[in-house]
């Protein structure tokens, strides 16, 4: 005899994670609630508590699945080309519908380190490792002076990029997206000129 009852929902986790990230991106942690999430994900609160136990565990699980992909790790080729690709991938992640989720989580990790710190730590560590490998390889090829700080190069590119995105009025986001290629090149070229970059072999 088979057990009766409602069959399991195969899309539950995907649907709830997507709704959780959408809600978190809109209202942040302070406004995040199971009441609103349950309505948005079309699921009962009892199901949310039964599977995740608390909103803290749920949002951490959602963040783990919803963080933007890491830039592709490339140490061959020119530093300029590699930084342009990495910066383009970062800007693409900001321009996605859930682009504010990662930015908001970085800020709230300072306010709620016990909640968001661990969820973001491994992600940020891997992104830094990939970026550092790109810059170190360029130093080894002679594209950058010995002693150049990989952290400062990466922080300069990411910082300018993030500042430009956040300072762009909402109504001009589509225009920013339309010229993202040119913008990324401008930012990378500005930073490389500041650190006395030269093409390998020149």
pLDDT digit string (tens) for the chain, length 202 residues: 444 555 567 789 999 999 999 999 888 888 999 999 999 999 999 999 999 998 888 988 888 787 766 666 666 789 999 999 999 988 998 888 777 888 888 888 888 888 777 777 877 888 889 899 999 999 999 999 999 999 999 999 999 999 999 999 989 999 999 999 999 999 999 999 999 998 765 5
Q: Are 40 and 117 members of one domain?
A: no
**Phi and psi torsions of 109, nearest 5°:** -65, -25
125 and 140 together in one domain: yes
Residue 126 lies in a domain: yes
Q: What is the CA radius of gyration of the chain?
A: 21
The predicted pLDDT at position 11 comes to 84
For position 2, what pLDDT does the model report? 43
Q: Which range of residues forms the domain containing residue 18?
A: 12-65
Residue 4 lies in a domain: no
Q: Enter the tokens of residue 95.
A: 């321009």
Confirm whether 137 is domain-assigned: yes
Domain identity same for 113 and 45: no
- Is the full-model pTM beyond 0.95? no
Dig out the tokens for 4 from the structure: 């009766």
Asked if residue 44 and residue 129 are part of one domain, the reply reads no
Q: Are residues 45 and 120 in the same domain?
A: no
Q: Can you give the pLDDT at residue 1?
A: 41
Does the residue 200 lie in any domain? no
110, with CB counted inside 10 A (0-12, 13-18, 19+), is exposed
Q: What is the pLDDT of residue 70?
A: 64
What is the count of structural domains for the chain?
2
**Same-domain pairing of 151 and 133:** yes
Q: Burial code of 138-176, b = ≥16 C-beta within 10 A, e = fewer?
A: bbebebbeeebebeebbebbbebbeebbeeeeeeeeeeb
Based on the fold, state whether residues 48 and 73 are members of the same structural domain: no
Same domain membership, residue 81 and residue 58? no
């Amino acid at each position: 005899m088979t057990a009766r009852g409602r069959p399991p929902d195969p899309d539950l986790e995907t649907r709830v994670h997507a709704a959780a990230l959408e809600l978190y991106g809109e209202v942040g942690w302070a406004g995040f609630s199971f009441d609103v999430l349950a309505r948005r994900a079309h699921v009962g609160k009892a199901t949310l508590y039964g599977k995740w136990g608390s909103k803290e565990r749920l949002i951490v699980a959602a963040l783990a699945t919803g963080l933007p992909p890491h830039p592709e790790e490339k140490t061959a080729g020119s530093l300029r080309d590699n930084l342009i690709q990495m910066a383009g991938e970062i800007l693409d992640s900001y321009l996605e519908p859930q682009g504010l989720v990662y930015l908001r989580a970085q800020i709230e990790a300072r306010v709620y380190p016990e909640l968001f710190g661990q969820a973001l730590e491994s992600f940020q560590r891997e992104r830094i490792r990939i970026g550092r490998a790109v810059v170190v390889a360029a130093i080894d090829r002679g594209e950058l002076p010995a002693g150049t700080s990989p952290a400062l190069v990466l922080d300069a590119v990411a910082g300018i990029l993030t500042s430009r995105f956040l300072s762009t009025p909402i109504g001009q986001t589509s225009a920013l997206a339309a010229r993202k290629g040119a913008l990324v090149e401008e930012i990378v070229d500005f930073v490389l000129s500041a650190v006395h970059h030269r093409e390998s072999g020149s």
